[in-house]
Amino acid sequence: MAATSTTAKADPSGPGDRVLTAAQMRAAEQHLFQHGVDSFALMCGAGEAVAGHVARHWPGRDVVVLCGPGNNGGDGFIAAEALRRQGCGVTLLALRPIEAYRGDAARAAAGWQGQWLALDAANLETAVQPNALVVDALFGIGLDRSLDGAAAAAVNRCREAGAMVVAVDMPSGVSSDTGLVMGAAMLARQTVTFGWLKPGHLLLPGRLHAGALEVVPLAFDEASGRAGQQAGGPDIRCNGPASWILCLPRPGAMDHKYSRGHALVIGSAAMSGAGRLAARAARRIGAGMLTVAAPAEALPLFMADQPGLIARPLGRPEDLVEILLDSRISAVLVGSGMTPDAGTREAVLNALAGGRPVVVDGGGLTAFADRPQDLFVLGRPDVVLTPHEGEFARLFPDLGPELGKAARAQQAAQRSGATIVLKGSDTVIACPILRHDGVSGRVLVNREASPHLATAGSGDVLAGLVLGLLAQRMPAFEAAAAAVWFHSEAGFAAGPGLIAEDLPEQIPGIRRLIAEV
């Protein structure tokens, strides 16, 4: 079967922007088989696509192909034979003797016309010379335990030799569902994958092991992708405008400042900067009106900083309840820059009781570390929790990294009933609303963000962006995802030397750019 390959830069995630787990991928594959696609033809398409990729990027180079025990190895045999026929010098090392292969992989192995070498330490040392070009076809989506023995030795040898590795489907050793390294993992320059991206290509550290990604659709289409996701697990996609642009607020001729959205930031005296940054971000993303409620001594700071906002004193807890009587307030941010204590807890609970969409950030999350159930407001998907890893671990101590970031965020969303933004360089946004088509929720993975965002106050800006979009009545999951996307774009736009104060100022330019989308 001829493989069609895509190398789209803007969104290389294949048909749609789905991201499939290993189980979903297998279900998508079954869907194809039920509709007459031949499994060996699919493997041939995969192997030939890898060979085509290698020939395009390194024309005329000798190549070492490492074949594992299953179908990933099968793809390797097909690629090796295709390259050999093109006149490439190919050395092939296999983890199994030829007679031990089964199914399509056995058929692919039987088609290899070159020499057969065992994948062992001695052969690795001879074959993988410094700067060798290596096709890693050891393990793909079937990896289910840590690499050891010869497979681990292959990873080490490639690393020692500074080999340029092209990974087939997954860099071997990276879990396709979690992006976690199992024992040891190939550090690939490039990864050629099939059908759709897998979470492990996007989540850390897998993203760093995968290098540049090429998605080859093969025979996979929208119907098989949908069938794959409906077989179980969440609908995972890459975060981008396609996921939320239709509900991005746009002011119209009939709008006035209140109708555009009135956001409320609960500020603190100890760290007023957090609320100030959030307020500025909420206004830059389009909230028509912004009120800060903060201890009286902090109010002059807010007012001097931003003449366009309204400041109201917050002394007693009842003050917040009174402020929330104003029905024009359309969303609330609580927790940024607040100390994690009983007073903050009360402010969060009062904000939630106000019945508006609420963003809970920073100290507002940690204040519930010893009683997370009190924060979990089942049936309130308009509540957005924005934890970084530390805050997440305090609220969901049992949802550890071993589950993978996509699954952790999804389970946290379902447990809390809230939209979850699990921050980091690979921020994941999860929706608590279950669907009725067998898909257990929606998850978006932000592809990449500027590491310059790792600076104090950057999270406060993100919280403010979510607030500003919620205030404009954008649904919470979409608001959270759009905010994360704007935030990472702002990080790239500001670039080196970025400080949190720069981020809100980048928003209008980015907003203008996507107005045309």
Ligand X SMILES: NC(=O)C1=CN([C@@H]2O[C@H](COP(=O)(O)OP(=O)(O)OC[C@H]3O[C@@H](n4cnc5c(N)ncnc54)[C@H](OP(=O)(O)O)[C@@H]3O)[C@@H](O)[C@H]2O)[C@@H](O)CC1
Ligand Y SMILES: Nc1ncnc2c1ncn2[C@@H]1O[C@H](COP(=O)(O)OP(=O)(O)O)[C@@H](O)[C@H]1O
Chain contacts with ligand Y (rule: CB under 6 A): 362, 388, 423-425, 427, 449-451, 453-454, 456-460, 462, 487
Question: Does 172 engage in binding with K ion (CB under 5 A)?
Answer: yes
* Residue 235 binds which entry of ligand X, ligand Y, K ion, none, CB below 5-8 Å type-dependent: none
* Residue 141 binds which entry of ligand X, K ion, ligand Y, none, CB below 5-8 Å type-dependent: ligand X
Using alpha carbons, select from 450, 455, 459 the residue that is nearest to residue 361. Answer: 459
* Residue 404 binds which entry of K ion, ligand Y, ligand X, none, CB below 5-8 Å type-dependent: none
Min CB(56)–ligand X separation in Å: 19
* Residue 136 binds which entry of K ion, ligand X, ligand Y, none, CB below 5-8 Å type-dependent: K ion
Q: Determine which residue in the list 59, 87, 145, 437 makes contact with ligand X, applying CB under 6 A.
A: 145
* Cβ-Cβ contacts under 8 Å for 109 (sequence gap 6 or more): 67, 73, 74, 77, 94, 98, 101
Q: Is 404 left (phi over 0), alpha (psi -120 to 50) or beta?
A: left
* Residue 68 binds which entry of K ion, ligand Y, ligand X, none, CB below 5-8 Å type-dependent: ligand X
Closer by beta carbon to ligand Y, 224 or else 458 = 458
Min CB(427)–ligand Y separation in Å: 5
Site string for ligand X, 146-175 (x = CB under 6 A): xx---x----------------xx------
Tell me the window of 159-167, 313-321, 399-407, 438-446 that interacts with K ion (CB under 5 A): 159-167
Region 399-428 residues binding K ion, contact defined as CB under 5 A:
none
- Residue 63's DSSP bridge partners are 90
Q: Determine which residue in the list 22, 168, 266, 309 makes contact with K ion, applying CB under 5 A.
A: 168
Q: Which residues are annotated as a binding site for (6S)-NADPHX?
A: 71-75, 140-146, 169, 274, 337, 388, 460
Q: Where are the beta strands (DSSP E) in 14-144?
A: 18-19, 63-67, 90-94, 117-118, 133-137
* Residue 330 binds which entry of ligand Y, ligand X, K ion, none, CB below 5-8 Å type-dependent: none
Calpha distance 134→382 (Å, rounded): 49
b/e sequence 407-446, b meaning 16+ C-beta within 10 Å? bbbbbbbbbbbbbbbbbbbbbbbbbbeeeeeebebbbbbb
Q: Determine which residue in the list 12, 14, 179, 195 makes contact with ligand X, applying CB under 6 A.
A: 195
Say what the alpha-carbon torsion angle 352, 357, 363, 366 is, to the nearest 10 degrees.
Answer: 70
CA-angle at 144, arms to 420 and 36, nearest 5°: 90
Min CB(304)–ligand Y separation in Å: 22
Question: Does 143 engage in binding with ligand X (CB under 6 A)?
Answer: yes
* Residue 46 binds which entry of ligand X, ligand Y, K ion, none, CB below 5-8 Å type-dependent: ligand X
Assign 134 to helix, strand or coil. Answer: strand
Calpha distance 392→408 (Å, rounded): 9
Q: Which residues are annotated as a binding site for K(+)?
A: 72, 136, 172
Angle of helix 103-110 versus helix 39-57 axis, rounded to 10: 50
Min CB(490)–ligand Y separation in Å: 10
DSSP code, position 447: -
Closer by beta carbon to ligand X, 151 or else 412 = 151
Say what the alpha-carbon torsion angle 421, 200, 396, 413 is, to the nearest 10 degrees.
Answer: 50
* Residue 423 binds which entry of K ion, ligand X, ligand Y, none, CB below 5-8 Å type-dependent: ligand Y
Calpha distance 366→495 (Å, rounded): 30
Question: Does 140 engage in binding with ligand X (CB under 6 A)?
Answer: yes
Q: Determine which residue in the list 17, 48, 75, 502 makes contact with ligand X, applying CB under 6 A.
A: 75
Class of residue 489 by CB neighbours under 10 A (exposed 0-12, middle 13-18, buried 19+): buried
Say what the alpha-carbon torsion angle 249, 251, 255, 257 is, to the nearest 10 degrees.
Answer: 80
Calpha distance 484→463 (Å, rounded): 9
* Residue 172 binds which entry of ligand X, ligand Y, K ion, none, CB below 5-8 Å type-dependent: K ion
Question: Does 25 engage in binding with ligand X (CB under 6 A)?
Answer: yes
Closer by beta carbon to K ion, 19 or else 500 = 19
**Chain mean position to CA 403:** 14
Min CB(199)–ligand X separation in Å: 14
Question: Does 71 engage in binding with ligand X (CB under 6 A)?
Answer: yes
Min CB(146)–ligand X separation in Å: 6
Class of residue 22 by CB neighbours under 10 A (exposed 0-12, middle 13-18, buried 19+): buried
- Residue 329's DSSP bridge partners are 262
Q: What is the DSSP annotation of 325-356?
A: T-TTEEEEEE-TT--SSHHHHHHHHHHHHTTS
Closer by beta carbon to ligand X, 102 or else 328 = 102
Question: Does 449 engage in binding with ligand X (CB under 6 A)?
Answer: no
Q: Determine which residue in the list 29, 48, 81, 136 makes contact with K ion, applying CB under 5 A.
A: 136
Q: Determine which residue in the list 3, 27, 46, 299 makes contact with ligand X, applying CB under 6 A.
A: 46
Region 258-277 residues binding ligand X, contact defined as CB under 6 A:
none
Using alpha carbons, select from 145, 168, 165 the residue that is nearest to residue 155. Answer: 165
Calpha distance 358→384 (Å, rounded): 6
Min CB(454)–ligand Y separation in Å: 3
Would you tell me which residues interact with K ion (CB under 5 A)?
A: 136, 167-168, 172
| Interface ranges with ligand X (CB under 6 A) | 25-26, 29, 42-43, 46, 68-75, 139-147, 151, 168-169, 194-195
